[in-house]
Structure 1
Amino acid sequence: MTHADAAAALSVWVALESPTNHPAGVNGMMDLVAGEVAGLPIAVERIAGRDGLGDMVLLRAGRANGQPGVALMSHLDTVHPVGTSAKELPVRVEGDRLYGPGVYDMKGGAWLALQAFKAVAKAGTAKRPMAFLFTPDEEIGSPTSRGLIEEIGRGSAAVLVTEPARAGGRIVTARKGVGRFDVRLEGRPAHAGSRHADGRSAIREAAHQILAVEAMTDYARGITTSVALMGGGTAANVIPQHAWFSVDCRVTTLADGTMMENRILSLKAHDPDVAIRVTGGMNRPPYEKSPAVAALFELARGVAAEVGFDLQDCPMTGGGSDGNFTAALGVPTLDGLGIDGDGAHTLQEYGLISSIAPRQGLIKGLLETI
């Protein structure tokens, strides 16, 4: 397949917008996957979506020899709202760049990995059973797909995740763990003019708590905490009864994840007359570069050298993925195997067309080698 043919085929996927909260679009993507493998020696299982989210599709192929398999994981949900491709980010080719919503994160990786999976399934060259799971909800923390991701991971000798490559085509062998928390505060309303002293401001309490949470960041230890969403109050002349904010927490180790979860869930009100309620927890465990992950990476380097390029990995990245779940189970996991490019979650998102063929060759080689 030429570069132009690959870009044209991938453009069809990118043009079908599939934000997580648009199950019709996500299910349209699942239809495309199922359609691509029709008539091939690939079993297709479709798992109906729930909680207002899209379906999952699980492909199986390769040798049914009782050995642990090799699993591919891709999500087909994106973050850009429907209409983005008609306005701010049209699907287009400019030189080596294919622009469009979700092309880098991560339809490019999902598409090229499916081509590799199809080729190995048709040739019958896999040493192990192969599975390929397409999910609908990674961008919101994988609430409906995590159980199946972990189930497949437990039965696998290795997991390959097609999140986008990092700068220069580097792959990911370690990610921080991710925690999400919601903090709700209830004070006492009062007229801001005539009864000011009677009020207990939930927003003032939120300010104290936000500063305390942000102060938990410890760069030397790899711990970050941030508050990016907040709200509260009812009117300009009312001492606010209610306020809320969300917390994002990133950690590098399981122990720090437990420590930070306990610390945030144990927040105490600065003002005893304001009630505070904290919910949430660590959503994705850390993905550490274990000896098994390092060994799998070295195997991948050898495969890449045969394809014709020098594969490198990057330092632990702050973003989480479904690879966090499988790596935390002790399953050797490689991530960032998708398309090279830049601009994830922005209106300048693009994938490098020239990276498709070598990345596809890498995944094909891994499926045949592991």
Structure 2
Amino acid sequence: MKRVALCAILVGTAMAASMAGAVPVHTPSDTRLIAAIKAKPAVKAAFAALEAEHDQWVENIVTLTEIPAPPFKEAARGKAYADMFRAAGLTDVEIDEAGNVLGMRRGTGKPGGKLVVVSAHLDTVFPEGTPVTVRREGSRLYAPGVGDDTSGLATQLSLVKALIASNISAPMDILFVGDVGEEGLGDLRGMKQLFGKGKYKDRIAAFFSIDDSSIDGLTNGGVGSKRYRLNFKGPGGHSFGAFGLVNPMTAMSQTVVDLYNIPVPKSPKTTFSASVVGGGSSVNAIPREVWLEVDMRSESAAELATLERAFLQTVDKAVAGENAARSTKDGVISVEKKIVGDRPAGSTAADTALVRQTAAAYGAEGVAARLSFSSTDANVPMSLGIPAITIPRAAKGERGHSTDEWIDVSAPESLKVKRMDLLAILAAAGYR
């Protein structure tokens, strides 16, 4: 990345950090624009289509939730979602090299011009074998992944159907995407394919991820992360007979202790966690190998890079310290540092047209948008300087990433979310 572009991203991150949690200020012209779009007969027809399709939206959530989509195993859900895209009337439906499902709503502009991407992710955080049968209690649906992001997929599909039912075509093409790899060690691989190698990568002018968990959430800041798996190795030996030899577990333990002594800023928020450990073979053996996984995050790309450097120095210091402290006659301690996750940080400034117009779209439905930071698919385009935000998938839900996750599917609030999303997308695609 060019130095100028990197500086611009860092400045944007700082601007978004200062606005996190604030209400973005949209101008009177933004309000008038959204009001004019909302008043169009075709948009009113689209809203009516959303209302008529509400029960089908609920059914789609149930259907998709009950197709397991654990990390790296999204293919079955992806195939079903591609069929839903085709049935809804999208063109150029395909599943790309990474497993993303793509479908196009053609605009009225020049073919091959700039386009808007709308996405929701196919994968869930839950491992293979997790029961995914949906339970309904009143207006609530309960199941692992029912909200994050299965409700986003269903909401996206409802928006597609509403556009087609009302015969709306914006000036810009709108590319709808069901993407892979958003959760965990998926490492945003679907977005990296779309923006790095995908056939539409040079055409994307704006990006929406339908993945915010609150009705007023407007994510314009992307929390970056670096994740490492460290494999510490040594000669091993009998716990009694070889006592005094270097021990890889000591180096690993010292790494954790020293990691937690690294100072990090509260703003921009920067964090770390020693998260998963393993290794060893027997209680009476000095281990030959142990491993540790570490997660580091920051709202700032610069602060994340500073933390990463300090952490890697800590690892090397811990290994050198153990080799100096005990006998290396049968071998030394070594460490392999493997990056298992690399999510770029970035932001879309609060005063960009995308944020302002989206906030105005929320306002048109009586909702005050609240700016926030998170780690979503929008991180990738944000890091590239492409205007990108994450918008709501449903009105209310809790317990995400837990097996008792739930969402509320009451029609009034759910329809409000879909109307907000549709207005924002149409504004970004140049519909006037």
Q: TM-score range by the shorter chain?
A: 0.7 to 0.9
Which of the numbers 70, 78, 87 marks the counterpart of 1:19? 70
Q: Describe how 1:33-72 pairs up with structure 2 within 5 A.
A: 33-38=82-87, 40-49=89-98, 55-63=99-107, 64-65=109-110, 66-72=112-118
Secondary structure, counterpart of 1:138 in structure 2: coil
Over residues 170-200 of structure 1, what are the superposed CA-to-partner deviations in whole Å (9 max), with x where a residue is unaligned? 2212131111111111123122112312x21
Contact 1:154 1:331 in 2 (8 A): no
Match of 1:296 in 2: 354
Contact 2:232 2:252 in 1 (8 A): yes
- Matched residues in 2 for 1:335 and 1:144: separation? 16
Match of 1:335 in 2: 390
TM-score (norm 2): 0.75
Which of the numbers 134, 156, 159 marks the counterpart of 2:178? 134
Contact 1:180 1:281 in 2 (8 A): yes
Structure 1, unpaired ranges of 5+: 50-54
Match of 1:277 in 2: 336
Q: CA deviation at 1:299?
A: 0.5
Structure 2, unpaired ranges of 5+: 1-51, 324-331
- Matched residues in 2 for 1:235 and 1:271: separation? 21
- Matched residues in 2 for 1:73 and 1:36: separation? 13
With 150-159 and 356-365 compared, the bigger mean Cα shift is at 150-159
Q: CA deviation at 1:230?
A: 0.7
Q: CA deviation at 1:202?
A: 0.7
Identity among equivalent pairs (%) = 20
- Matched residues in 1 for 2:61 and 2:164: separation? 20
Q: Describe how 1:146-225 pairs up with structure 2 within 5 A.
A: 146-150=192-196, 151=198, 152=200, 154-166=202-214, 168-197=215-244, 199-216=245-262, 218-221=264-267, 222-225=269-272
- Matched residues in 1 for 2:384 and 2:260: separation? 30
Larger radius of gyration: 2
Contact 2:179 2:191 in 1 (8 A): yes
Return the structure number with greater relative CO, CA threshold 8 A, min gap 6.
2
TM-score (norm 1): 0.87
Code of the residue aligned with 2:270 in structure 1: it is I
- Matched residues in 2 for 1:39 and 1:347: separation? 31
Which of the numbers 160, 177, 180 marks the counterpart of 1:117? 160
Contact 1:13 1:107 in 2 (8 A): yes
Match of 1:52 in 2: none
Secondary structure, counterpart of 1:278 in structure 2: strand
- Matched residues in 1 for 2:159 and 2:171: separation? 15
With 99-108 and 12-21 compared, the bigger mean Cα shift is at 12-21
Distance 1:29 1:281, change over 3 A: closer
Over residues 98-124 of structure 1, what are the superposed CA-to-partner deviations in whole Å (9 max), with x where a residue is unaligned? 212211110101211122123224513
Distance 1:154 1:19, change over 3 A: same
* Equivalent residues, number: 354
Query: What do you get for the CA RMSD once the two structures are aligned?
Result: 2.4
Distance 1:365 1:39, change over 3 A: closer
Q: Describe how 1:283-322 pairs up with structure 2 within 5 A.
A: 283-291=342-350, 294-306=352-364, 308-317=365-374, 320-322=375-377
